[in-house]
Structure 1
Amino acid sequence: MKKQKFAHESLVTTTEMVLPNDTNPLNNLMGGRLMHLMDVVAAISAQKHSNRIVVTASVDNVSFQHPIALGDVVYLEAKVTRAFNSSMEVHIRVSSENVPSATTSQTNEAFFTFVAVDQSGNPIGVPELVPETKDEIELYEGALRRRQLRLVLGKRMKPEDATELKSIFFDTQK
């Protein structure tokens, strides 16, 4: 039987403050800097799940919903949503807080995919993921569709082979 780990075991949270060197000319956090922070927190989460070295395989749509201003505090939370053979999908939520005004907002959300590798850089198996909460179960169930969509868009899977996406690609009502 393959080893199993609970989703909560991969939870990683981190906090950063937006400093002048992190900002663009509008005094907002640069998108590339935020993506770097997201990649780091997600990689740690994937490492905690797999107990292996991991490499970033893909980044799903990262939308910038609200700017994060100079001096704001940035909160990043990452957790593995599903594990496949050697890959893991990690969900990242980003929020920011203006401490003096005590206002917070959800600013970003994304899914990153990581592959566990051995010392030679070859993919290696990872434990199965066991979701427990309602949120974890929803993310787990949607992960296969997101994975198949990534593979189809990356031309690594034919649309007709994407069982979870048939209703999107083909009219199944006939």
Structure 2
Amino acid sequence: MPDLMDTYIENRWLVQPNHANNLQTTHGGNVLKWMDELGALSAMRFSGENCVTARMDQVNFKRPIPVGDVALIRAYVFEAGRTSVQVRLEAFREDPRTGDRVPTTESYSVYVAVDDDGEPTSVPELTVDSERGCELHEQAVAENAER
């Protein structure tokens, strides 16, 4: 059974002018794309199957990410159903010189594992064996329940 920390993924993109809107901050569509891609990778790492996006819950854009800063996205599976998994998604604005982070965007997404024919297929049970995994799991479950 996969552990929550096995599904934890972070990725970074240096925000370039081609990622920006007319305010020279990252276009929201780029942030959503990066979050969705990383969420799917986390779900696939968990399930061992291809996964497709079933739902992206309310996306909260709190702050912009300006050109020249880094968009840091993190994702991890925090719940598993029969064929679906719930993934916690967070984006941060990161200073490339100092590594200082500020939260910018958050969401919860559901991905469905599919077989080679595109049909839903079962996923394993999620385990949480580390202190950090427990912290992430408890935070995601509590915040998701408040939504």
TM-score (norm 2): 0.89
CA RMSD of aligned residues (A): 2.1
Output the amino acid matched with 2:62: Q
Q: Which residue of structure 2 aligns with residue 117 of structure 1?
A: 114
- Unpaired segments of 5 or more residues in structure 1? 150-174
Q: Which residue of structure 2 aligns with residue 54 of structure 1?
A: 51
Q: Which entry has the higher C-alpha Rg, 1 or 2?
A: 1
Decide whether aligned partners of structure 1 residues 141 and 39 sit closer, same or farther in structure 2, where only a CA change above 3 A counts: closer
State the 1:65 CA deviation.
0.5
Q: Which residue of structure 2 aligns with residue 98 of structure 1?
A: 95
State the 1:104 CA deviation.
2.7
Output the amino acid matched with 1:94: A
- C-alpha distance in 2 between matches for 1:31 and 1:53: 26
Decide whether aligned partners of structure 1 residues 143 and 115 sit closer, same or farther in structure 2, where only a CA change above 3 A counts: farther
Q: Which residue of the other structure, out of 83, 86, 89, is the alignment partner of 1:86?
A: 83
Work out whether residues 81 and 143 of structure 1, in 8 Å CA contact, stay in contact via their aligned partners in 2.
Answer: no
Q: Which residue of structure 1 aligns with residue 60 of structure 2?
A: 63
1:1-174 mapped onto 2 (5 Å cutoff): 4-100=1-97, 103-132=100-129, 133=131, 134-139=134-139, 141-142=141-142
TM-score (norm 1): 0.76
Give the number of aligned pairs: 144
Decide whether aligned partners of structure 1 residues 129 and 23 sit closer, same or farther in structure 2, where only a CA change above 3 A counts: same
Give the number of the structure whose residues are more often helix, by fraction.
1
Report the identity percentage: 30
